[in-house]
Chain A
């Protein structure tokens, strides 16, 4: 027992947490400052005047009051994207190709999780569940989604990528896109054959839709309630746990060391007695499981899923992964921020941004603590 406790690398466990905290807070502050500066500049222009006419507040006040809520929403969705992006990064780190089928692995996780919950609801288990049981069932759905998505990812690798391991770089990429289409339509086919429905709806249970009120701010004639829903907190906490777990696995365990070795040089790694195929399968398993869990969390947050649900989150997560350093895994774990500020001049200036926090697992280069 003592040896086990001793073997836990506390530093490696807490390091990503600190990084994430610094990073998400930092990006929020910087982006908020940018927004406020923009609001100040535009306040005098026709945009500010139009807003003043409608709501009787200046653009600057409007932005200031809305910013905290926007930041909370942005962080929530940012963590969902981060959890998906991990799958891309893991595979890229080891195989140096982009697994475009990952968005469908994410969708499969979402479908399996939601179907489990719908099944439970049909038997009347969900509606009568106590709060603790509700969380238990959600956990069950997440685990089911993870297992299905992990298994799918491993089999996709076995069928579509392994035979192409030594082909030129574009070939597995094309194969990945093909698998992506195939999986989309397989989900659609399965759903139409079994349930005959295209939209699957996450059942409402537990207290996940409940909203914790953090404060009220006055804006002209109305009040803006600042709050965060329980499900947003669940999403953030689970995503943080997943990121921490992955970071620990890659940087502080023996398996992680093998993964890093294969990422650096597969041939030498196999000479050292590492079973390269197994390590690659493992990478897909872990990436797929994280994607599956992210899928269930996505369904929890946004309620409705359909067979093509993976496409856009996959695209955004892919962007985040690239920005987070999918190509250049340097010594330090990278962080990514992506900034999607949409400003629509007419008729209402709407500000929305999502800072995506993504500590990419440090696969290529060993960090001092682990080596």
Chain B
């Protein structure tokens, strides 16, 4: 090999070392990705989840900037679609600057996407996925800051039982999330002696006539819907139009002001509409007053449910990266180190609670709420009263 080639190679190596060292500290950039439905019928929640994370990045990245690391947001749109989520996940893991993912609203999207994160050791903090399988696979990379459906379904069933519901018709949306929670609800309801008149999955979004016939024939005390609001609210509205006057109960997928925009006053008729959730209203979290104020100032709209969880998930990622950077002698840490640092966090105090993760990535204690729809005005959705608040540890 000629002398000149050697010079070129050694120059390259030198440049590489120089780039990696602190000589270029100001140029060190890392990214944190978000993956939520930014378009599509669930975008109302997905966009605000991202905005929450964006706000956290703006407010909480100070310590990392002080260490000479610039943090950027890399938002991705999973369209609430598993295929899109996985395709995005592959793009995310192939970008070496991305050290963590805040993400997913739908469990059915998070579960396959996190397989990709897991394969390349990328940490994923979930602000809203409640299906047990999110964490029970035992991946080091996947943690969440909310409760689980095997508890939420039971909370719903307990609430129904407490309201002397004797018969129930269960409908779900055939997704991992909706069917999952509906099955947990059904199991508990049967255990407590409620009569389950039907258990039906449907992907229909407009015309529920064929489903309403058996519901009305059975005339149950309660109709339970496991799934997301665009379907649930249309079903509830059509059921009321057909003269059903019993109670409606749904899950945290129902928690959006759009639900009442679709359902209107019909949700308040009869025995009313309730939903269980893992993301309570602002009043349930003492720390959110400032968040809501800042959010309104920045985005000119009140935050939807799960925006605060987006904020906290981002906060956890930033804090863990900061710890990992310090442990790594102020150099950018590996993805594995970040994943471990997230699990190692003790009593991280966010705006929606104080978080410590257990060995599979569930928060050691999670909050569960049962809420009542109280007004036909979408602007008053955030004022829906809490009927029940429970602090429950994840099942073993």
User: B223 an interface residue at 8 Å Cβ cutoff?
Assistant: no
User: A303 an interface residue at 8 Å Cβ cutoff?
Assistant: yes
Asked whether, in the complex, the Cβ of A350 is within 8 Å of the Cβ of B210, the reply is: yes
**CB-nearest residue of chain A relative to B258?**
A199
Asked whether, in the complex, the Cβ of A229 is within 8 Å of the Cβ of B241, the reply is: yes
Q: A300 vs B121: C-alpha distance in the bound complex, in angstroms?
A: 50
User: B230 an interface residue at 8 Å Cβ cutoff?
Assistant: yes
Asked whether, in the complex, the Cβ of B206 is within 8 Å of the Cβ of A302, the reply is: yes
Contact of A303 among B40, B198, B209, B234 (CB under 8 A): B234
CB distance from A217 to the nearest CB of B (A): 10
Asked whether, in the complex, the Cβ of B243 is within 8 Å of the Cβ of A227, the reply is: yes
User: B207 an interface residue at 8 Å Cβ cutoff?
Assistant: yes
Asked whether, in the complex, the Cβ of A347 is within 8 Å of the Cβ of B199, the reply is: yes
Q: Which residues of B contact A303 (CB under 8 A)?
A: 234, 237, 262
Q: A306 vs B42: C-alpha distance in the bound complex, in angstroms?
A: 11
Q: A219 vs B214: C-alpha distance in the bound complex, in angstroms?
A: 11
Asked whether, in the complex, the Cβ of B243 is within 8 Å of the Cβ of A77, the reply is: no
Tell me the A65-100 residues at the B interface (CB within 8 Å): 65-66, 69-70, 73-74, 77
The answer to whether residues A222 and B44 also contact, given A77-B207, A303-B262 and a CB cut-off of 8 A, is no
Asked whether, in the complex, the Cβ of B243 is within 8 Å of the Cβ of A211, the reply is: yes
The answer to whether residues A54 and B262 also contact, given A198-B44, A350-B211 and a CB cut-off of 8 A, is no
Q: Which residues of B contact A192 (CB under 8 A)?
A: 39
Q: Which residues of A contact B40 (CB under 8 A)?
A: 198, 306
User: B200 an interface residue at 8 Å Cβ cutoff?
Assistant: yes
Q: A66 vs B242: C-alpha distance in the bound complex, in angstroms?
A: 13
Contact of A73 among B44, B209, B261 (CB under 8 A): B209
Tell me the A162-220 residues at the B interface (CB within 8 Å): 188, 192, 197-199, 201, 204, 209, 211, 219-220
Asked whether, in the complex, the Cβ of B39 is within 8 Å of the Cβ of A304, the reply is: no
User: A62 an interface residue at 8 Å Cβ cutoff?
Assistant: yes
User: B326 an interface residue at 8 Å Cβ cutoff?
Assistant: no
User: B350 an interface residue at 8 Å Cβ cutoff?
Assistant: no
Q: A51 vs B111: C-alpha distance in the bound complex, in angstroms?
A: 36
Q: Which residues of B contact A73 (CB under 8 A)?
A: 207, 209
Asked whether, in the complex, the Cβ of A70 is within 8 Å of the Cβ of B210, the reply is: yes
**CB-nearest residue of chain A relative to B198?**
A348
User: B1 an interface residue at 8 Å Cβ cutoff?
Assistant: no
User: A133 an interface residue at 8 Å Cβ cutoff?
Assistant: no
Q: Which residues of B contact A219 (CB under 8 A)?
A: 217
Asked whether, in the complex, the Cβ of A201 is within 8 Å of the Cβ of B262, the reply is: yes
- Number of A-B pairs, beta carbon distance below 8 Å: 96
User: B213 an interface residue at 8 Å Cβ cutoff?
Assistant: yes
Contact of A304 among B217, B218, B234, B243 (CB under 8 A): B234
User: A333 an interface residue at 8 Å Cβ cutoff?
Assistant: no
Contact of B206 among A55, A70, A304, A350 (CB under 8 A): A304
Asked whether, in the complex, the Cβ of B218 is within 8 Å of the Cβ of A199, the reply is: no
Tell me the B80-112 residues at the A interface (CB within 8 Å): none
User: A342 an interface residue at 8 Å Cβ cutoff?
Assistant: yes
Q: Which residues of B contact A201 (CB under 8 A)?
A: 258, 261-262
Contact of B44 among A77, A197, A229, A348 (CB under 8 A): A197
Q: A33 vs B241: C-alpha distance in the bound complex, in angstroms?
A: 28
Q: A371 vs B367: C-alpha distance in the bound complex, in angstroms?
A: 76
CB distance from B199 to the nearest CB of A (A): 6
User: A29 an interface residue at 8 Å Cβ cutoff?
Assistant: no
User: B364 an interface residue at 8 Å Cβ cutoff?
Assistant: no
Asked whether, in the complex, the Cβ of B209 is within 8 Å of the Cβ of A198, the reply is: no
User: A6 an interface residue at 8 Å Cβ cutoff?
Assistant: no
Tell me the A31-66 residues at the B interface (CB within 8 Å): 54-55, 62, 65-66
Q: Which residues of B contact A350 (CB under 8 A)?
A: 200, 210-211, 213-214
Q: Which residues of B contact A70 (CB under 8 A)?
A: 209-210, 213
User: A344 an interface residue at 8 Å Cβ cutoff?
Assistant: yes
Asked whether, in the complex, the Cβ of A304 is within 8 Å of the Cβ of B205, the reply is: yes
Tell me the B159-217 residues at the A interface (CB within 8 Å): 195, 197-200, 205-207, 209-211, 213-214, 216-217
User: A135 an interface residue at 8 Å Cβ cutoff?
Assistant: no
Q: A54 vs B243: C-alpha distance in the bound complex, in angstroms?
A: 21
Interface residues of A (CB under 8 A from B): 54-55, 62, 65-66, 69-70, 73-74, 77, 188, 192, 197-199, 201, 204, 209, 211, 219-222, 224-225, 227, 229, 298, 302-304, 306, 309, 312, 342, 344, 347-352
Beyond the given A70-B209, A220-B217, please list 19 additional residue pairs across the A-B interface where CB-CB is below 8 A: A55-B197, A55-B217, A69-B213, A70-B210, A192-B39, A199-B258, A209-B241, A219-B217, A224-B216, A229-B241, A302-B207, A304-B230, A304-B233, A306-B41, A312-B206, A342-B210, A347-B199, A348-B214, A350-B200
- Some 26 contacts from A to B, beta carbons below 8 A apart, are A54-B218, A55-B197, A55-B218, A65-B217, A70-B210, A77-B207, A77-B209, A192-B39, A197-B44, A198-B40, A199-B230, A201-B258, A204-B264, A209-B266, A222-B219, A224-B216, A227-B243, A303-B237, A303-B262, A304-B233, A306-B41, A312-B206, A344-B200, A350-B211, A352-B209, A352-B213
